[in-house]
Amino acid sequence: MAFQGRWTTEASTQFEALQAMAAASLAKRAREKRTKTSKAEGLFKQVDKCVRLLLENPKHPGLHTHAYESIDHPYEKAGKVFEAYVQNQTPGAYRLFWCYGPGKGEITILAITPHP
């Protein structure tokens, strides 16, 4: 079952910032006629893939999804917030925090940050 994605303002801002850095890096790489992708491009590609996998199947094994206790659920006091891996075995690996809701069949992306 595919889920409908919702974004908090914070998550949307983080996603757009990563996207802008990747686009700027790609443009610079094109101007300098380099072929090797930059870290910014690779990170955005990983974040984009993580979001797509999450919305298709939150239990996808590559996401290593598990409950995260330090963030409160924005819609339900007893609801769970989850952490999905954008990167693994990388210093400062990025994580995506999300929860189910507010409606049925919806996932809200709360934040995209380096591992706390």
Dihedral over Cα of 77, 59, 5, 23: its sign? positive
Sort strands 81-85 and 4-7 into parallel, antiparallel or unpaired: unpaired
pTM of the entire structure? Answer: 0.91
Is residue 49 predicted with pLDDT exceeding 90?
yes
Q: How many CB atoms lie within 10 A of CB 4?
A: 11
pLDDT digits (tens, 9 = 90+) for 50-91: 999 999 999 999 999 999 999 899 999 889 999 999 999 888
Is residue 32 predicted with pLDDT exceeding 70?
yes
* Domains in the chain with CATH codes: 4-114 (3.30.2310.20)
Q: How confident is the model at residue 116 (pLDDT cuts 50, 70, 90)?
A: low
Predicted pLDDT of residue 40: 92
Q: Specify which residues 113 forms β-bridges with.
A: 95
